[in-house]
Amino acid sequence: MSAPASQPFASRGTKADIENGLSFQPKFDGDGLIPAIVTDASTGEVLMFAFMNAHALKLSIDTGIAHFWSRSRAALWKKGEESGNFLNIVEMRTDCDQDVIWVRVDVAGDGRACHTGERSCFYRVIKSSSDADEAAALTVAADACRHD
């Protein structure tokens, strides 16, 4: 089954096709987005989470550089375009339902994937409180780079 020229991906098929077939049939949400989890290809470290629309996903596949859809700016976003920390794709996978993308990357530039200057966007730890009335607090993870 091939996608029409205006649609870069195959149409969604049966559950069996989606779960066991080899046709890429991504499931975009009501806003036309699909979640993307980005990890370091060498270490497996989770670097970031973002969304892709069909255009960003196609550009990522075609160019080998991760592109996303910025919900806050309502614009296509080529990660690293301003910082030089491009996300060079080593491998892309999808889950069993084809509704999430896993992007394994090598980070170019100074190796920092987060716009704050951290290597990973996940640089804070959520600490639970023993007091049920106290709100959870954040601490900086021991492995955070803190802009060194």
Distances (CA, A) of 76 to 47, 72, 133: 19, 11, 41
Does 97 carry a binding-site annotation? yes
Report whether 146 contacts 136 (CB < 8 A): no
Nearest alpha carbon to residue 26 among 98, 74, 131 = 98
Does 29 carry a binding-site annotation? no
Does 145 carry a binding-site annotation? no
Does 99 carry a binding-site annotation? yes
Does 62 carry a binding-site annotation? no
Does 95 carry a binding-site annotation? yes
Binding-site annotation: residue ranges for Zn(2+): 96, 114, 121
Binding-site annotation: residue ranges for Mg(2+): 95, 97, 99
Binding-site annotation: residue ranges: 95-97, 99, 114, 121
